[in-house]
């Protein structure tokens, strides 16, 4: 990475400068709407849907919401990570010179999306790339990384295990480390999507005011809120920096499975949580926050709230996106939408704070790096689990009924 001493301040102005720097190398990804999903978001959940959740027996929330989807699944390498990788590499080249970088190469660790992003950025500038990936990474992400010319090394799944292998590669090769999320250059790069979202929403609502909750022309196309997935926190932190002081609230969404919601729990506890080890289907969100992302995400002036969702919530949201939007996404991409549709704490907050007027909410689809086979396995496993649960509840398997009901 470029040295911290030379890094631009974490401000909106720096995000705008980062956008100018990387614009030649990234796609302007589309902003989409979907009336069906906005309608579902604005419809109370049924009492049966809330059964066996923390909100069982409560009156379902009834918020008014219009959704605007920033589709980073159409970004280069299929994920938003291209933004941070290109920005970090351009900053490093500016500081150290292209010849030194080419002579030593770059190294990083990633479950897949940053791996591919840095491999592409390095290939663009003819720089050798070394990438450490967890041995449980999605095969398509591993092959994608190799396809961009990077040399791949394998490690355990935790951040500490990844970093240990990175240290070995650094010693062997002399490569410059390009962190996957926990550095100002990465954070500023990821925040560039906010610049585009703001402009795209304003243009969209100017042409068709009826797409928004208020429906009046000349409102300015302002989003009331933006929600992004949160793993290592680079994207959420970048959006927090970009939107600070702009009147748009920023929220983060995480999987709850096996403690993957470390950001949410850490903020509630007032202390950063490390050592997350989760096998959530949202594989891009299995990483805990870093020091830089923690500072931003735990600051209410940047990020106004964090919410978590279950594996079922993620699957249900993914099914809706695939079937209703005809949009190919990976599980990590839909945790924000799942929060809006199924997390009653979030929905009640919108109902309470927005009132009758409602909110326009930007939802970031972070990536689409998965396969048809992987998606099939996710839904096949879910169907088997549901069949076993129903079998137990209905008493069709006497030997397991008590176990299933109790579990």
Q: Which residues are catalytic?
A: 81, 111
Strands lying side by side in the sheet with 129-134: 151-155, 129-134, 106-109, 176-177
Burial class (CB in 10 A: 0-12, 13-18, 19+), 112: buried
Closest listed residue to residue 179, CA positions, set 219, 229, 237, 125? 237
What distance in Å separates the CA atoms of residue 267 and residue 297, rounded to the nearest whole number? 8
SS3 per-residue string spanning 147-167: HCCCEEEEECCCHHHHHHHHH
Rounded CA-CA distance 126/82 in Å is 16
Parallel, antiparallel or unpaired: strands 106-109 and 225-229: unpaired
Alpha-carbon distance 220 to 222, whole Å?
A: 6
Tell me how far apart the alpha carbons of residues 162 and 165 are, in angstroms, rounded to a whole number: 5
Q: What are the angstrom distances between the C-alpha of 311 and each of 99, 237, 282, 405?
A: 46, 24, 8, 19
Q: What is the 3-state secondary structure (H, E, C) of 210-253?
A: HHCCCCCCCCCCCCCEEEEECCCCHHHHHHHHHHCCCCCEEEEE
State how far the alpha carbon of 148 is from the alpha carbons of 82, 99, 119, 174, 405, in Å: 13, 20, 6, 21, 49
């Amino acid at each position: 990475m470029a040295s911290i001493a030379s890094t631009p301040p974490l401000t909106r102005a720096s995000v705008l400068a980062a956008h100018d720097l990387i614009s030649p190398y990234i796609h302007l990804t589309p902003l989409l709407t979907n009336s069906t999903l906005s309608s579902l978001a604005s419809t109370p959940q049924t009492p049966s849907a809330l059964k066996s959740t923390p909100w069982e027996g409560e009156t379902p929330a009834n918020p008014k919401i219009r959704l605007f989807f920033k589709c980073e699944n159409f970004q280069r390498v299929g994920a938003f990570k291209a933004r941070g990788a290109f920005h970090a590499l351009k900053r490093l080249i500016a500081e150290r010179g292209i010849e030194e970088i080419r002579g030593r190469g770059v190294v990083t660790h990633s479950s897949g999306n940053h791996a591919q992003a840095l491999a592409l950025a390095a290939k663009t500038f003819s720089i050798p790339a070394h990438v450490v990936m967890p041995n449980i990474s999605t095969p398509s992400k591993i092959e994608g990384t190799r396809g961009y010319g990077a040399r791949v090394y394998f490690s355990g799944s935790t951040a500490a295990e990844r970093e240990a292998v990175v240290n070995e590669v650094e010693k062997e090769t002399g490569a410059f480390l390009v962190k996957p999320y926990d550095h100002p250059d990465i954070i500023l790069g990821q925040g560039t999507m906010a610049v585009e979202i703001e402009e795209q929403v304003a243009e969209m609502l100017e042409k068709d005011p009826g797409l928004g909750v208020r429906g009046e022309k000349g409102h300015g196309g302002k989003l009331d809120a933006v929600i992004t997935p949160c793993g290592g926190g680079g994207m959420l932190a970048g959006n927090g920096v970009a939107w600070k002081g702009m009147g748009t609230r920023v929220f983060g969404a995480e999987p709850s499975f096996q403690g993957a919601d470390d950001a949410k729990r850490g903020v509630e506890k007032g202390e950063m949580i490390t050592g997350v080890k989760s096998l959530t289907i949202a594989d891009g969100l299995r990483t805990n926050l870093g020091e830089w992302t923690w500072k931003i995400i735990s600051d209410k002036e940047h990020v106004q709230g964090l919410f978590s969702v279950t594996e079922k919530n993620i699957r249900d949201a993914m099914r809706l996106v695939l079937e209703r939007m005809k949009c190919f996404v990976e599980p990590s991409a839909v945790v924000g939408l799942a929060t809006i549709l199924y997390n009653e704490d979030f929905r009640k907050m919108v109902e309470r704070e927005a009132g009758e007027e409602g909110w326009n909410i930007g939802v970031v689809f972070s990536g689409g790096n998965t396969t048809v086979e992987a998606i099939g396995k996710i839904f096949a496993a879910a169907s088997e689990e549901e069949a076993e649960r129903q079998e137990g509840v209905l008493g069709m398997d006497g030997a397991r009924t008590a176990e299933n009901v109790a579990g």
